[in-house]
Amino acid sequence: MKAMKIMAKKRTRGGYRQPANPAPVSGPGALSARTDGGPGSATQPIRRIPGVDYGEQQALSEQQAAAPLPAEPTVPSKGMATPRPPLNRDVFRPTDVPGEDPRTAGINPAEAAPDNTLLALKAMYQVSGFNPVISQLIHNYEQRGL
């Protein structure tokens, strides 16, 4: 009888394999960029807004599709900025503007805007959903002029 040779397969599949063309690495989150070399899109993707009422999501998506924003925000260049002088951080030095009242920072009280406290309180009252504390402040201000 002839001796049988058993041929085993050579198994070299396991272990680390170094890629021939490693992919470039992109930044995390908002810093991420395409790494496949594709052109990408000229406009921003349509984003889903969480927490909107039923049916509003479709309207918002249609609005985004109707007026797409550019992929990269365009910022107009202002040219060369004039360099600022270095700040003097010595807070105990004499004033740069002698004769100026330090309490008003150079603003003439006669030229200052009139007091609109009551108008601001009424606006805050409406925006806050008619908060009773702001209502009391308005009442006190109207009664005493505080």
Structural element, H or E, at residue 123: helix 117-127
pLDDT given for residue 95 in this prediction? 72
The CA distance from 32 to 26, in Å, is: 5
pLDDT given for residue 32 in this prediction? 74
Q: What is the pLDDT of residues 61-93, one digit of tens each?
A: 888 888 888 777 666 666 666 777 777 777 777
> What are the residue ranges spanned by the domains of the chain?
117-146
Q: What share of the chain is helix, strand, coil (3-state, %, to 5)?
A: 25, 0, 75
Q: Assess contact for 121 and 139: CB atoms under 8 A.
A: no
| Mean pLDDT confidence for 88-101 | 74
